[in-house]
Chain A
Amino acid sequence: MSELDHAQTTRHIRVTVNGVSYERDVLTRTHLGDFLRQELGLTGTHLGCEHGVCGACTIILDGQPIRSCLMLAVQADGAVIRTIEGLAQADGTLHPVQEAFWDKHGLQCGFCTPGMLTTLAAVLEADPTMDETAIREAISGNICRCTGYETIVDAALQAASRMRGGH
């Protein structure tokens, strides 16, 4: 088979995204980010570099923050995925990281924000005791051109405190 014949190959996959089950036939070469955006219409996941450095496309897959541009949709068969659209509760209550980004001016243009929020939600849910150094490490794979990162770090520290039960 030629490369272009491979481009037409499809597979059937099932994924759960933000609590909703989907079944789709997908082109095997489609990356997960394009699948979420184009097939499921979840355009909150942004594509910033499509070579795995900027982190804008980060989603939470089976509990782990991963880059949806570096994974094929077919590899996500059977996975449970959370995207930016699924961080807030069904009643609209914001996730503590979302609330904190708003409070602390943790975003300007907002384009890297979904990847920042999913990364931080995943790591802080796993360990809300993270300090500033650990938080900076955690987002070292997310590029922000607007903020200089400081207010993002401050927001993460506020969110961590709230997730530990503080205020």
Chain B
Amino acid sequence: MGARYFGAAVKRLEDPKLITGRGQYLDDIPMPGVLHVAVVRSPHAHALINAIDASMARDHAGVVAVLTAADLGEMAQKPMPMMAPAPMVKTPLTQSPLANGSVHYVGEAVALVVAESRAVAEDAAAMVMVDYDPLPAMVDLAHALKDGANLANKALQSNLAGTLKGGFGDVAGVFAKAAHVFKETLSLHRGGCHAMECRGVMARPDPAGNRIDIWSSTQSPYMVRRALALCLGMDEASVRVTAPDVGGGFGPKAVVYAEDYAIPMAARHLGRPLKWVEDRGEHFVATTQQRDQLWELEVAADAQGRMLGVRGHCLHDNGAYLPYGVVLPVTSMSSFPGPYALEALEISLDVIYTNMVPNTPVRGAGRPNTCFVLERLADRVARELGIPREDVRRRSFVQASQFPYETGMKARDGSPVSYDSGDYVQCLDLAVAKFGSDFKARQDKARAEGRYIGMGIASYVEDTGLAPYEGATIRVQPNGKVLLLTGAAAQGQGHKTVFAQIAADQLGISPQDITVEAGDTSLFPLGIGTIASRVAVTGGSSVHMAAVETRAKAIKVASQVLEAQEADLVLEGGFVKVSGTDRQVSLGQLALMLHGNFGQPLPAGIAPGLSATAFYEARQTTFANGTNLCEVEVDIETGAVKILRYVVAHDCGTLINPMLVDGQIRGGVVHGIGNALFERMIYDENGQPQTTNYGEYLLPLATEMPRIEIVHMESPSPRNPIGVKGAGEGGTIPAAACVISAIEDALSPFNARLKSHPVSPQDLVQLVDQG
């Protein structure tokens, strides 16, 4: 059977409603009798709460209730469970659904104001008088472990949450024998979520209090269900969580937040449906971010510029709490050694508590960080040895003959990290070929004219298809249409389209004949979440397996109905046909038959329903890779950077829908360009956020973004039945490193050394002036 839809640029099934204004995001869902919630948030980075006086707010016309942790009972006062428990953390800190006696970042939820309208709730929120006793704030990452540093929480003896260590090989030996050793001090900042739809939670308790329906603008509806059922002491079947249309996720929406607990608790307390929709001001202070890492590293290289070893130490700011455990710094650690076949590696990361918004993964998680430091080291080796930057990479890469390649690192479950497939050199060569060979000449000419252009390069490997599973059910209905159910909700990726493409080929139907339902816990039993570039691998493989099984069942039953050999049957146009004849039976007829009828036994040994459920077991990770090249021009008078070209060579295995993969890459690259040039979440020395609107915090705009030229390579993964690897973050991971590399190249006449991002025009003018 040839693929007709798998691999094709099929237009999205999601789009018709979204382009006509008929999408249904959380705030669009009609809910009779709903009350509106505004959250009273801490104005202090660190403070004790002496008392809360809500009397004035409660008396305000239109206010139904003001609720604090004390009003909502014990579970609202207890710390929320860590989503990924981290036994190595001696003092694991998570916040409670509403503050319980103290606050540890500006924006922490303190109380809920419930009113007839959002406007009235906000009026009254300003009337809630909270008596705070401010404490010194910890915001200076570089000094977090020094004597006399302010402690981020009174429960701590030290701001150190824990230290991660990883590595392999004879580090001392490799560094001792290396022809060259170079040392670098680097730092970087990631920024926030900034999905165009902010977060939101709506909850509707049933009058008897036995059930609750929850809507959350989340990447992880099943995690919300798990958390709430455990917290409320309810059966999972009684807690229905729906992720409706979600307006972007990018990682931070995978967290189960204080509001995910507090709003359902308050709804049950009041016996009324409640809705809270985060506004953009809240998003800046209450949605998780990724902020700073400070690195000290050394790289060892041989005389030809092959990187042999890396060792280094990192201070990682995790903010006030560890909602996600240490997953974020772990992804930085486990992203070493990148695409490079190092002989030795030794990395330690100190995870630090500060009085800023908690940190959890933002697109790429800790991977762009590790890519940035490795690529800065590779550029340094090239510069010191006077060889092309691409040659350092070619010489240092894992070579095509080495797959499967065990890096020496350990995965989260303790198993060896093993790269599955690819040809990193060839992928780099594709990027170089696309970029063209005339850059040096153009650069020389530009410099003669007083213009400064530069070429950047960055390569990466990304672990994708994270364990354990996403499942799928395929069910043919008596009308011949197919229902495809999965737990893997989408936030814009196009899961419905790609899942329908995978299933359509197996079933001999069109994707338009498949209705995909995702992200409603009442429709599919289990799910994990749409994070970490994992759904094409886990969910896509499950869809494939369920479709193959459904197809086999259709053929088996049809062979009895049509009195034909199974080998002679084909699925085509919604029918099972006997090849070369006009004998056929429709999938709908088979489904009707297998739905059964009173007193009529089904064929012996055939389970009811023309359907199948599959859970692909993600036992081994798949690894995507790629190399980016870009060209920038720096105006040395103003420090303005213009990205003139951006080339991506990308290998995420077999492509399901190249148009959608390109969309993921382009959006991801632009996110990374934002990290390089624009996005900077600034706090002052007291822990007060300084950039809380889009005038102060800059996002990439259409006028600044280049076209992204994409070349695909397809190295199928041998580790899943459809050969795919994830594509959600591969655009972002190398992009900031690539842009920074290009700026450094452009300013090489000034001996500029770029050691951090984002870079501002002021930073660049200063580098030029110093040069």
* Residue ranges of A at the interface with B (Cβ–Cβ < 8 Å): 4, 7, 27, 29-30, 37, 41-51, 53-54, 56, 83-85, 87-88, 94, 98, 101-103, 105, 107-114, 117, 135-137, 139-140, 142-153
Question: 10 extra interchain contacts, Cβ-Cβ under 8 A, other than A54-B280, A103-B11?
Answer: A43-B27, A46-B196, A47-B27, A50-B279, A105-B663, A108-B493, A109-B492, A111-B23, A137-B703, A143-B701
- Residues from chain B with a CB closer than 8 A to the CB of A83 are 21
Docked pose: A142 CA to B667 CA in angstroms: 15
Residue-wise interface mask of B (191-221) relative to A, using a CB-CB cutoff of 8 A (1 in contact, 0 not): 0001111100000000000000000000000
Q: A111-B197, A136-B703, A145-B196 are in contact. Are A102 and B15 (CB under 8 A)?
A: yes
The answer to whether B702 touches A98, judged by C-beta atoms less than 8 angstroms apart, is no
Q: Which residue of A lies closest to B21 (CB)?
A: A44
Question: How far, in whole Å, are A136 and B249 apart by their CA atoms in the complex?
Answer: 25
B25 contacts A by Cβ under 8 Å: yes
Secondary structure of the A contact surface, majority rule: loop
A110-B14, A147-B667 known; A98+B19 contact, CB < 8 A: yes
Q: For B700, what are the chain A residues with a Cβ–Cβ distance below 8 Å? A: 148-149
Residue pairs across A and B with Cβ atoms less than 8 A apart, 11 shown, are A44-B20, A53-B694, A110-B245, A111-B25, A112-B196, A143-B196, A146-B667, A147-B666, A148-B667, A149-B700, A149-B701
Which of B20, B280, B660 sits near A105, CB closer than 8 Å?
Answer: B660
**Which single residue of chain B is at the shortest CB-CB distance from A97?**
B19
- Contact between chains at B693 and A49 (CB < 8 Å): yes
Return chain A residues, CB-CB under 8 Å to B30: 41
The answer to whether B699 has its CB under 8 Å from any CB of chain A is yes
Q: How many contacts between A and B, using CB within 8 angstroms? A: 166
Would you call B123 an interface residue if the criterion is a C-beta within 8 Å of the partner chain's C-beta atoms?
Answer: yes
* Cβ–Cβ contact B20 & A98, under 8 A: yes
Structural contact, B280 and A49, CB atoms closer than 8 A: yes
Interchain CB contact under 8 A, A151 and B666: yes
Task: Find chain A residues with CB under 8 A from B246 CB.
Answer: 109
Closest to B674 in A: A145
A35 to chain B, nearest CB (A): 12
Task: Indicate with 1 or 0, residue by residue over B689-708, a CB within 8 angstroms of chain A CB atoms.
Answer: 00001110001111101011
B524 at the interface (CB under 8 A from A): no
- Report the minimum CB–CB distance from A132 to chain B (whole Å): 9
In angstroms, Cα B247 to Cα A27, docked, is 29
- The answer to whether B705 touches A145 (Cβ under 8 A) is no
- On whether the beta carbons of B705 and A148 are closer than 8 Å, the reply is yes
- A136 contacts which chain B residues (CB < 8 A)? 702-703
> Cβ of B452 < 8 Å from any Cβ of A?
no
Q: Is the CB of A29 within 8 A of B659?
A: no
CB nearest neighbor in A for B363: A145
| Cβ-closest chain B residue relative to A133 | B703
Query: 4 shortest A-B CB distances, which residue pairs?
Result: A44-B21, A111-B247, A109-B492, A110-B18
Nearest to A49 among chain B residues (CB) is: B280
Q: Known A113-B19, A140-B702; judge A29-B196 contact (CB<8 A).
A: no
Segment 2-24 of B: residues with Cβ below 8 Å from A: 11-12, 14-16, 18-24
* B702 and A152 form a contact (CB under 8 A): yes
B529 at the interface (CB under 8 A from A): no
Q: Which B27-46 residues sit within 8 Å CB-CB of chain A?
A: 27-28, 30
Task: Name the A residues within 8 Å of B663 (CB-CB).
Answer: 105, 108, 146-147, 151
Closest-by-CB residue of A relative to B659 is A105
Known contacts A111-B196, A152-B702: A53-B693 contact under CB 8 Å: yes
Is B421 an interface residue when CB atoms closer than 8 A count as contact?
no
Q: Which of A27, A43, A108 contacts B667 (CB 8 A)?
A: A108
Tell me the bound Cα distance from A107 to B24 in angstroms: 15
Minimal beta-carbon separation of B650 from chain A (angstroms): 14
A139 partner residues in chain B, CB cutoff 8 A: 702
Taking CB atoms, residues of chain B closer than 8 Å to A41 are: 30
Residues on A with beta carbons closer than 8 Å to the beta carbon of B494: 108
Q: Across the two chains, which residue of chain B brings its CB closest to A102?
A: B15
Report if B671 contacts A (CB, 8 A): yes
Residues from chain B with Cβ under 8 Å of A27 in the complex? 119
Name the interface residues of B277-319: CB closer than 8 Å to any CB of A. Answer: 279-280
Which of A4, A135, A150 is close to B666, meaning CB atoms less than 8 Å apart? A150
CA distance A80 to B705 in the complex (A): 34
With a cutoff of 8 Å between Cβ atoms, the chain A residues found around residue B22 in the complex are 44, 85
Inter-subunit contact A107/B15 (CB<8 Å): yes
Q: How far is the CB of B676 from chain A (nearest CB, A)?
A: 14
Do the beta carbons of A29 and B20 come within 8 Å of each other?
no
A113 touches B18 (CB 8 A): yes
Question: Roughly how many angstroms separate A5 CA and B12 CA in the complex, as a whole number?
Answer: 49
Residues A140 and B703 in contact in the complex (CB < 8 Å), given A4-B123, A105-B659 = yes
With known contacts A145-B699, A148-B669, A151-B666, A107–B18 Cβ distance under 8 A: yes
Residue of A nearest to B703 (CB): A140
Residue of B whose beta carbon sits closest to that of A29: B119
- CB pair A142–B702 under 8 Å, yes or no, is yes
B250 within 8 A of A: yes
Contacts of B11 in A (CB 8 A): 102-103, 105
B584 at interface by CB-CB < 8 Å:
no
Pick the residue among B18, B24, B195 that contacts A145 (CB under 8 A): B195
Nearest opposing residue in chain A for B29, CB measure: A43
